[in-house]
Amino acid sequence: MAYWASVFVLAALWPGALSVTRYSIAEEMERGSVVANLAADLGLELGGLAQREVKLDIFTNKKYLDFNKKTGELYIVERIDREYLCPAKPTSCFLKLDFIIETPLRIFNIELGITDINDNAPHFRRDRVELDVSESATPGERFSLPNAVDPDVGINTIKTYKLSTSDHFTIEIQTGSDGTQYVDLVLTKSLDREEKAVHKLILTAVDGGVPVRSGTANIIVRVQDTNDNPPQFDKQTYTINMAENTPIGTLVVNLNATDLDEGSNSEIVYSFTLYTSEKTQDVFTLNPNTGEITVKGTIDYEDMKFYEMHIEAKDKGAHPLLGQCKIVVHVTDMNDNFPEITVQSVKNTVPENVPVGTVIALVGVSDRDTGDNGKINISIHEAMPFILNKSSDRPTHYNLIVSEPLDREKVPEYDITLIARDTGKPPLSDNETITVHLLDVNDNAPQFPQSFYTIRVMENNAPGSLLSSLTAFDPDLHENQYLVYFIIEKEIANTSMSMLFSINPENGNLYALKTFDYEIEKEFLFHIEARDSGSPPLSSNVTVHIIIVDQNDNAPVIVSPWRAHGSVVEEKIPRSTDKGSLVAKVIALDTDSVHNSRITYQFLQVTDASLFSLDQYNGEIRTMRMFSYKDSRHHRLVVVAKDNGEPALSATVTIKLLTVETDVKAYSDMTEMPLEYDIFSDINLYLVIGLASVSFLLLITILVTIVLKCQKSKPNKTAPPSRNSVISESNSTIADSPLVSNDAYWYSLFLAETRKGKLVVRQPVPKGSRYVVSSIPRGTGLSETSDSAASTL
């Protein structure tokens, strides 16, 4: 805002002197405000000024004003501050300058009178004043306060002082000889530090300008203490609940006695009074400086239910003051006592057949705690055939009784863990273990791992060899477990089992007493009994099946072609024999089992391999082509018959063939015709009758020989075969040879034998018995035996 305060022109022209032009401006005029129109005031033409040089010299060395030649106006370039230009606070303040126009030179003296405005507020040299006043000071005492300053002048300077509202203080203003005002703080009411330790006052200096401006200073009055207040506790009596067994060092209470005084007058020392018992002081300790009461001994509810402590608090003033209080500690029962189990009587050893309901032990329980902490529940740790019943006449006693049948073989010993647990929080428990051993009773019969034993015994075993170990198990103990083994007597063909086998009565080892021959004895079936030594003894038996396993201990026996002397057979065949004609048939028998008696045939030596062939399964030797004139008349064939055993056994036969120029058509036709009983001519009828008679006599001789042999060596229902007989028992455990049951074999055998001038007769006997095949040379009445042992098919 720009305005003219006043404009006046003083033109005093003295001879030889310049004129002075004065203006009055307010210091608050803004930049650009026009101070005066010098061209108009000085009578200058604007057009002429524009052609001349104009400058302003400001004596304060600061450019506050400037001149506009176009308008002829003097305007403010920099805001004018009266307090800066006239710091000594004179009554009047002028800014002097020269207005110079050249060509021709003219100088005008200009003075600007700066009018003061209230642009400065009063302020204190110290805005915070602190005073220490004793609370014992009397009303009327004075305290000097600093005065304020104001750079403005006249009515704009400080006019008066004011103090904020206070019940205890006021101010008085003094004026000095130079007009300066001084302020005193006056106490009007006694102070109480405990009521108010610090008084905060505000001193305000106010000027007389418009608008009014003021400045403030903070007056802090600190009230100095005197020992006029005793220490005081929050309560006269403190009631505290504390659990027993509280750890040592635990804080019981932190006493905080207060003393309204300060300094040493408020420093407090705590102590027990004489009313506190020594026993209490043994359990609790008091920190004299902090007032903390902590546990230093054992708190036991069962020993003391509550404690009383009398405490004194004393300050450190010159004349000490003190206060007192009482602390009552009620001890809370904690579950700090474990239940106790007392076994008053016990039976540590009982028979396993002890009756259900038998009392094993009498157990008592107790707990020193009270309430729920002293209530006890007792139980068995895990499921067992025992229970606890509470005694009717003694509530804290229990009977441990048998609740289920006991079995030593399942559980020989019981560790019965009794657990007593109270109902406190947290619950405490105690345990006691009662060990009960069960005495064995002979209540278990021996048991074999299997109900049926199949034992395979290789024939030709050594007498006394171990066959197997038949061990039974008895879960009982001691004599109830000691087992004795027996072979239950059984006779086979008037022979007792104890003559064939023996068993060790202590360990059940089964031995063979003789050497077995598979071709005579195939199997045995009997029972073995195991009996314990208890009273009464218990036993069980098991079935034993002995199977004699065949060995390849019999070599094949060649029964065809017939060999009367030695192992060489001589044969004659026509040279006109056709291709594929049967020359001879080699038949070998083996008395071993089926596997070991399977026979195959091979040429061991042949004169001409292109002329003869040998069927490896049926032993037939046939021509592979017709004889030619180049072929030799003599042929030597060596055939080996080998069984299927391991290692294989064999027999050989040598056949010498002589080719002749003979018409053998009728003979050849006879060899190819089917087997018929009417091929025999009347001439041979007598020969057949003789053969039958000889065969019958031979059979009788064989039976007598078998009986004698059985009496001397070993019983057997199977008669031993004769050297020149083939015996097979149908529907028995002895394996039948395919050759016996196959009529094709008998046809081949008959054909081969008849070509050698022999008769082969198959004599059927009742079903289930043997077939007896006899081989008799033609023209003889006696049986001729071969050089090999008989074979069982």
Confidence of residue 691 (pLDDT cuts 50, 70, 90): low
Beta strands in 483-562 (DSSP E): 483-488, 491-492, 495-496, 501-503, 509-512, 523-532, 539-549, 557-560
CA atoms within 13 A on the CB side of 67: 22
Could you tell me which residues are beta bridge partners of residue 215?
A: 205
- Cα–Cα dist 216/626, whole Å: 163
Q: Are strands 106-115 and 20-26 parallel, antiparallel or unpaired?
A: parallel
Predicted TM-score (pTM) of the model is 0.43
The 3-state DSSP class for residue 704 equals helix
Contacts of 747 by beta carbon, 8 Å cutoff, 6+ apart: 674, 675
Which residue has 């804290």 as its token pair?
Answer: 396
Q: What is the mean pLDDT of residues 365-392?
A: 88
Which pLDDT tens digit goes with each residue over 52-65?
A: 778 777 776 567 88
CA atoms within 13 A on the CB side of 591: 23
Q: What pLDDT shows up at residue 566?
A: 58
Torsion of CA 49, 53, 58, 62, to 10 degrees: 110
Confidence of residue 557 (pLDDT cuts 50, 70, 90): confident
Q: What pLDDT shows up at residue 50?
A: 76
Residue 744 parent element (H or E): helix 743-755
pLDDT higher than threshold 70 for residue 467 = yes
- C-alpha closest to that of 223 among 199, 188, 258: 199
For the chain, the C-alpha Rg in angstroms (whole number) is: 75
Confidence of residue 403 (pLDDT cuts 50, 70, 90): very high
In the chain, % of residues over pLDDT 90: 37
- The three-point CA angle 703-779-680 to 5° equals 95
Neighbour count for residue 481 (Cβ, 10 Å):
17
pLDDT higher than threshold 90 for residue 328 = yes
In terms of DSSP H, where are the helices of 18-101? Answer: 38-42, 46-50, 82-85
Which pLDDT tens digit goes with each residue over 293-307?
A: 999 999 998 889 999
Q: Which two tokens stand for residue 490?
A: 């059984």
Q: What is the mean pLDDT of residues 174-181?
A: 80
Count of residues making up the chain: 793
pLDDT higher than threshold 90 for residue 358 = yes
- Cα–Cα dist 271/253, whole Å: 14
pLDDT higher than threshold 90 for residue 102 = no
Q: Of the ranges 118-132, 140-154, 189-203, 691-705, which one carries the lowest mean pLDDT score?
A: 691-705
Q: Of the ranges 87-96, 130-139, 360-369, 743-752, which one carries the lowest mean pLDDT score?
A: 743-752
| Residue type (1 letter), 3 | Y
CA–chain centroid gap for 375, Å, is 38
- Is the backbone of residue 179 left (phi > 0), alpha (psi -120 to 50) or beta? left
| Residue type (1 letter), 629 | Y
Which pLDDT tens digit goes with each residue over 216-248?
A: 999 999 998 888 889 999 999 999 999 988 999
pLDDT higher than threshold 50 for residue 766 = no
Q: Which domains does the chain have, with CATH numbers?
A: 6-115 (2.60.40.60), 123-224 (2.60.40.60), 237-332 (2.60.40.60), 340-439 (2.60.40.60), 452-549 (2.60.40.60), 557-777 (2.60.40.60)
- CB 151 within 8 Å of CB 120: yes
Contacts of 505 by beta carbon, 8 Å cutoff, 6+ apart: 484, 485, 486
Residue 138 parent element (H or E): none
- Is the backbone of residue 247 left (phi > 0), alpha (psi -120 to 50) or beta? beta
Residue 523 parent element (H or E): strand 523-532
Q: Of the ranges 97-111, 422-436, 538-552, which one carries the lowest mean pLDDT score?
A: 97-111
